[in-house]
Every structure is written in structure tokens, then in C-alpha cells.
Structure 1
Amino acid sequence: MSDKAVLGRGVAALLSNADEAEREDRYFLCDIDKIQANPNQPRVFFDAEKLQELAASIREKGVIQPLLVTRGPGNQYTLIAGERRLRAAKLAELEEVPVILLDRAGQDESLELALIENIQRQDLNPIEEAQAYARLMEDFQLTQEEVGRKVGRQRSTIANALRLLALPSAIQQDVAMGALSEGHARVLLRVKDDTERLQSVRDKILNEGLSVRAAERLCARHPGLPTKNASSGSATAVQAGLPASYCQDLSIQLANHLHSRIRIVQQGQRGRLEIEYYSRDDLDRLVGLILE
């Protein structure tokens, strides 16, 4: 069994195929100053308050989950996974931390292990998670479905996360820092091609504390349409069927629930609802959501 296959299943799984002598060589207490950060670390932001909380826990209970390392230059080790634990251990002023040495991991596998380990721990922010998926796809020529299998996610989850990377870097920074929620970011994707409107909606969300639903309504409103109280020079004929704004609101709600593109096509009083899917698995997912 490969190290990658047992990642996240604990020390026993990582050392299950090793004899006693090899276990002692691979699992040991390492001088904390000999561990170098992983240059391929996908995490960018570390919450200072949460690090302090982890450091307090480590002072009381120690580092329960060993760090994963490979041999580095000289008498040093390079971190594969566990940078939060390493940083918190330094805050707790530990001199040694438990590690598992993965000598078989080359540079490429080290990156893949680090990416997968961070994703599976579910404490990346939405942008870091999307970037980790993108790196897995780009560096290892993986499809969205293959990435999903490696990290235990649905393909649709990978696809929706990757869409966040289409936002401008400034908006991505807002999401990464927690100023904007992932839900707000998905709403902003609807106006990403209109730079001025995107900035306007973003500012309203932050300045007025708009909910995701309020932001949806704001983005659904055509910028050239008058408000209800605006006067009009001439009467406008009321078309048969549902109002376009109502259809657009419904489409947004369904898209957010199903995580797929939705289209309502009106034909007088009748019409049809179109739900886009991207693969057989995605179709099965949509059917499951509709029938549940």
C-alpha cells in the first residue's frame, strides 16, 4: 500500500508494512529546528487565533498527530504535511515533535501528498482549496473526476470550487481573508465580466452587510432597469406568463441548490425548466437531489 493511499489514516496505517526496525527509523521525535517548511505548501493564510488555540492544546496534550517529513539537505528534514501543527508547536515552545519519515516520496509525490493532506483536513479557506484542486489538475494532469476520487469529493464539488478562481484576485483575497463568504463569492461570479458592477456589488455586501440572498437579488436586477418607484414615460405592455425577474430569481435559487446551470424558457403561459449536467455522475447527483 502506498503512503498516498493511507494518508490521513494514522500512524498505524503508514507503518503497517514496516518491520520493527524500520518503524523506529521512520517514526521518531525530531528536533523542531531541523524541520524546514514545504515550499509547495498550498496553505497561504494561518488564523493567528486558531494557531494560539492549537498551541494551548499542544502544551497540554502534546502533538497527537505526527508530522510527515522527507529527508532534506544536510541533517535537515522537509515538511510534507502538518505546517499548522509545526507552527503551533513552535508557539508552544516545544523542542521536539513526532514525525513520520517518508523516504520514498519524491518531489512530485511530496507535493501531491501535501495537497491531498491539506484538503482532507478541511481547514483550507475556499480559495486555497480551489487552488489546491487546480494544482493537482495542472501538475499531475488529473481530471476533475480523478481529483475528486483522490480527495473524496464529488466532481461537481471540484468544479464549483474551481469556478471561484475566475474571480479577480482582489475578490479572491476578500474570500480568503473571510471578508466575503463562499456563498457571496458564488453570487459575484454572475457579474464577474462587468468590472464596475462587480466592484459595486462587492462594496454593498461589505458596507451594508448584505446576506447571500440579498446579494442574489442585487445581481439579478438588470443595471439598466428602473426600480418600482421610478416613473416611466410610457406604459409598458405586460407580457403573458411569469415575469422575467421572477424567473431569474428562481433560476438563481435552483442553481445555488443544485450547483448547476439552470434556465427557464417561457412559451406564453407554458414553458420548460432546463438543468445542465456535465457527466453521467453529475446527472445521477442531480436526480438524487431532486428525488430526495
Structure 2
Amino acid sequence: MKSKQVLGKGLGALIPGALEDNKEKNKAEESEKVGIISHIPVVKIDPNPYQPRIDFDTNSLNELAQSIKQNGVIQPITVHRKDSDRFELISGERRLRASILAGLELIPAYIIEVKTKEELIELSLIENIQRETLNPIEIALGFKRLIDECNLTLEEISKKTGKDKSTISNFVRLLKLPEEIQKSLIKNEITPGHARALINIDDTEEQIELWKKIIAEKYSVREVEKLAKQKKKKQQKNILINRLNKDPNIESIISSLRIKFGTNVKLQIRSDGSGEFQIQFYSKDEMERILDILNNAQSNSIN
């Protein structure tokens, strides 16, 4: 027994700090277990390939870095173990970047277990979507990926994120807007309310035209909604008129009337489906001839 004690002491004497280093290593390994918060070297953390955030504002990052220097990282980031020596970020890339700017070597992290790629995508997107710092397009892209890549329904996304189905749907619809309008929304030149109003206009050129007016004239959301509604009605009217004008039955009737009256006949159709025929004449004699035709037609219908 005594020789074993001497041997232990001898090892410590031969390699000063070896036992302490081993204890620290074991302590570090213990602290990096799943389900607990630990301090991980920032150099061991790989970025998240499924990060929904597109834009990292430099000024905002610098402000956060200064705050971290003074107060530390208040909310731990979330990671999963990638292999025996590395981790992959799930959420908190902004905090990680700011911590690196602040010169931190270790960052508090909550380690969770992730079994599949699909689970990683879902966790990453849901965790980040719930943060208010994402811009509307980043949130929209996140919801779209949950639908496309994770095969989640609006109902399932609603349960996982706590967002209403209508809210999710409205965000996804933002991606239908032209790229320049999406970029304008990211830059806060227009609000999500402006963007949602623009979606109701089907024609891309008219969307862009009204978007430019929003910025130039500083239109309120209510003003844009009113203008968009007017444009929508005009579009619907044009669609209806085109549809009726191309109706073979209508064309056949107009052709018959032109033959009957021996002159040009036009049809004007209103947005409510009503309309009027216009029979053209080019002299008083021609007008009387057309009136005679109409009178004869009326007499025949009475008889």
C-alpha cells in the first residue's frame, strides 16, 4: 500500500501538474455532456448551414460585442456535438460572432442531441424564427424551408412556433414579391404592412410602380391598401372584359349585328358584367336607315 502511494506521489513529482491537468480534462469532458450548459471554446464551434439569418448588421454586432465585454454572454447559445472534438451551432450565431469580436475564448452553450439532418434543420429554423431580430424575409424563408425541407404543414409549424397559421401564411406570401421589393423590406424602407398590401396586386410592374410611390410619397399602409384595392378592381375588370370580348358567342353576335346594320357595331362591357352596344353611323340618311331596321325588328317582335 505504501509503495502505491509513493508511486502516485512520484508521478506527480516527475510531471508537475499532470494530475491537475488530467482532472481539468475530465472536468471539461464532463461539462461537455448533452443536456447541460457548459463553456465551449469558440474555435470548436462550426457555423450552422441552415441559419435563416441572411443579414448581420455590423454596427449591431459591435454594440453586442461591447455589451458582452462588460456583462458576458447572458443567454447561452445552442449547439449539438458534430464529432468527438467539434460542435455545430443550432442557434445564437449573432452571439457567437459578437463573442469572437469581444475576444472571448469560451462561450456558454447548451448542448442538445440531434439524430438526423431533418431534425437539425427543424430545430435550427424554429429556434431562430422565434427571435425578434430576424427580418420579415428571413422569417418567411425559414417558414418556407420548414414546409419544403421538413414537410411540415401550417398546422404543425403553428404548434411548434406558437404562430397563427394566418401569420405563417402571410410571411410566406412575402416571397412572391419581386426581389427589389423584398430587399426594400429587409432595409426597412417599407413595412410588412406595405408589403402585404402590394401582394394583392397581381401585376409585377404595377407592384413595383406603387412600391416606388410608397418610398417617394411616404404613403401610409392604409393609403397603400386603398390604392392596391383600386388596382385590383381595375385588374379584375380588365380580366372580365377580355374574357367576354374573347367569348365566341359574343363575337358571333357582334358579327351578326354588323351584317344586319351594314355598319360597325361595338360592345362595351362594364366590370359588373353589364354593358352596351354602339351602332355607328356616318350620316343622317344612314341613321334613318338603322332606325328603320330597329323599328321593323320591333314590329316583327310584336306581331
Q: What's the TM-score once normalised by structure 1's chain length?
A: 0.64
Amino acid at match of 1:67: I
Amino acid at match of 1:146: E
Q: CA deviation at 1:105?
A: 3.9
1:152 aligns with: 162
> Is 1:32 the counterpart of 2:15 in the alignment?
no
CA deviations on 1:232-263 (whole Å, 9 max, x unpaired) are xxxxxxxxxxxxxxxxxxxxxxxxxxxxxxxx
1:178 aligns with: 188
Contact 1:56/1:92 (CA < 8 Å) preserved in 2? yes
Q: CA deviation at 1:62?
A: 0.6
In structure 2, C-alpha distance between the alignment counterparts of 1:176 and 1:122, rounded to whole Å: 14
Structure 2 vs 1, CA of residues 152 and 22 (structure 1 numbering), >3 Å: closer, same or farther?
A: farther
Q: CA deviation at 1:83?
A: 0.5
* Range with bigger deviation, 79-88 or 160-169: 160-169
Contact 1:70/1:105 (CA < 8 Å) preserved in 2? no
In structure 2, C-alpha distance between the alignment counterparts of 1:145 and 1:28, rounded to whole Å: 35
Alignment counterpart, residue 119 of structure 2, candidates 81, 106, 109: 109
> Is 1:66 the counterpart of 2:76 in the alignment?
yes
Structure 2 vs 1, CA of residues 183 and 116 (structure 1 numbering), >3 Å: closer, same or farther?
A: same
1:56 aligns with: 66
Residue 38 of structure 1 aligns to a residue whose secondary structure is coil
1:232 aligns with: none
Structure 2 vs 1, CA of residues 117 and 224 (structure 1 numbering), >3 Å: closer, same or farther?
A: closer
Contact 2:200/2:232 (CA < 8 Å) preserved in 1? no
> Is 1:215 the counterpart of 2:231 in the alignment?
no
Residue 93 of structure 1 aligns to a residue whose secondary structure is coil
Of structures 1 and 2, the larger Rg is shown by: 2
Structure 2 vs 1, CA of residues 25 and 223 (structure 1 numbering), >3 Å: closer, same or farther?
A: closer
> Is 1:77 the counterpart of 2:77 in the alignment?
no
In structure 1, C-alpha distance between the alignment counterparts of 2:94 and 2:176, rounded to whole Å: 28
Structure 2 vs 1, CA of residues 105 and 120 (structure 1 numbering), >3 Å: closer, same or farther?
A: farther
The sequence identity of aligned pairs, in percent, is 44
In structure 1, C-alpha distance between the alignment counterparts of 2:221 and 2:205, rounded to whole Å: 19
Which segments of 5 or more consecutive residues in structure 1 lack a partner in the other structure? Answer: 1-20, 226-265, 267-292
Alignment counterpart, residue 214 of structure 2, candidates 198, 205, 212: 205
CA deviations on 1:71-109 (whole Å, 9 max, x unpaired) are 235732211111111111112121110112223443221
Residue 39 of structure 2 aligns to a residue whose secondary structure is strand
Alignment counterpart, residue 128 of structure 1, candidates 119, 123, 138: 138
Q: Where do 1:129-278 residues align within 5 Å?
A: 129-191=139-201, 193-222=202-231
Q: What's the TM-score once normalised by structure 2's chain length?
A: 0.62
In structure 1, C-alpha distance between the alignment counterparts of 2:221 and 2:207, rounded to whole Å: 15
Which segments of 5 or more consecutive residues in structure 2 lack a partner in the other structure? Answer: 1-28, 235-271, 273-303
CA deviations on 1:151-189 (whole Å, 9 max, x unpaired) are 011111111211111112221121122222101101111
Contact 1:51/1:87 (CA < 8 Å) preserved in 2? yes
* Range with bigger deviation, 69-78 or 124-133: 69-78
Residue 40 of structure 2 aligns to a residue whose secondary structure is strand
User: Which of the pair is proportionally richer in helix?
Assistant: 2
1:257 aligns with: none
In structure 2, C-alpha distance between the alignment counterparts of 1:224 and 1:147, rounded to whole Å: 34
Contact 1:66/1:99 (CA < 8 Å) preserved in 2? yes
In structure 2, C-alpha distance between the alignment counterparts of 1:170 and 1:74, rounded to whole Å: 44
In structure 1, C-alpha distance between the alignment counterparts of 2:228 and 2:138, rounded to whole Å: 25
1:93 aligns with: 103
